[in-house]
Amino acid sequence: MPIGAYKNDDTYSRDIAVLLNCCTEYAQQIVNDSRFKHDVNTRDDVLEAVTLYKEVLQQQPDSSVVIISVGYLLNLKNLISDDKGLQLVQKKVKDLIIIGRSWFPKDTRLPLSMNLGGQQINHTAAMASMKVFGDWPTPIHVAGNLMPKPYHRGKELIGMPENNPVREAYRIYRERYGDWDHHLADLETVFYAVYRDKMPGYFSWGTNGTPKIGLHSEPNGIRYFYNLWDTSEDSPHVYWLTREDKFAEISQRIGDSLIQPPK
């Protein structure tokens, strides 16, 4: 699987993150662990993300690519800010599926999701999210709901071999909470992307309106962002809702996938 990295300087946001004590180093601990063989140690070992996106997109059939984003949209912002990158997105990308918090109630400004740069964690990423939601040229799908705590998964990994990198990532991140079960927002997003056409009865969709991200206020130089599902404007964008009577089955499927041994 090709790997690319964001390589722009982001000193301001890193300083804010340190100030707010918001970040962990669990990924770096896994990189430094001799049990897990790898040939990538830092972002300098891989291609710049936009370069890689353009190389991969160029090789795909028109209107065939589904992009899934479960983190910051910095690379996607840079992709559509690049003339060739924007042309390739317009030609090759079917739709963009983005993790995020609920966009409901509609027409209500809600605190921007951490995964989009909100909660004052990464201002540069939040600004990138504004750009992507404002200018992305193909349909965007956003999550309208997420499965609550009773359906979280992770404890299945406790019994897995200790040289399993997924197990180690959960251990480092979750042990401090005394509970290995973690929310499934990232994995639900991937599940939706893979199964929305194969299992349409598990989801419903809404198209009336458009998702927006904006700057709410800026007290003391710290920016506060919001997300909003605005019903006053139409758009090609979509929100999906996972059916509540399917939560248990989807949670089980994801839990079963978590304990598959690495290949």
Q: What is the mean pLDDT of residues 223-228?
A: 90
Please, which residues bridge with residue 212 across strands?
Answer: 228
Residue bearing the bigger pLDDT, 110 or 223: 110
pTM comes to 0.92
CATH number of 4-258: 3.90.245.10
- 151, HSE (Cβ side, Cα atoms, 13 Å): 19
Q: Is the peptide bond before 105 cis (omega within 30 degrees of 0)?
A: yes
Question: Which pLDDT band, with edges at 50, 70 and 90, does 21 fall under?
Answer: low
pLDDT in tens, 186-196: 999 999 999 99
Q: Is the pLDDT of residue 13 over 60?
A: no
Residue 123: which residues within 8 A CB-CB, separation 6 or more? Answer: 12, 13, 16, 117, 223
Residue count of the chain: 263
Q: What local confidence, expressed as pLDDT, does residue 19 receive?
A: 52
Q: pLDDT at position 23, please? A: 54
Cis? peptide before 200, omega within 30° of 0: no
- Domain extents for the chain? 4-258
Looking at residues 89-110, what average pLDDT do you find?
Answer: 92
Q: Which two tokens stand for residue 192?
A: 């939706």
In this prediction, residues 174-199 reach a mean pLDDT of: 95
pLDDT for residue 176: 87
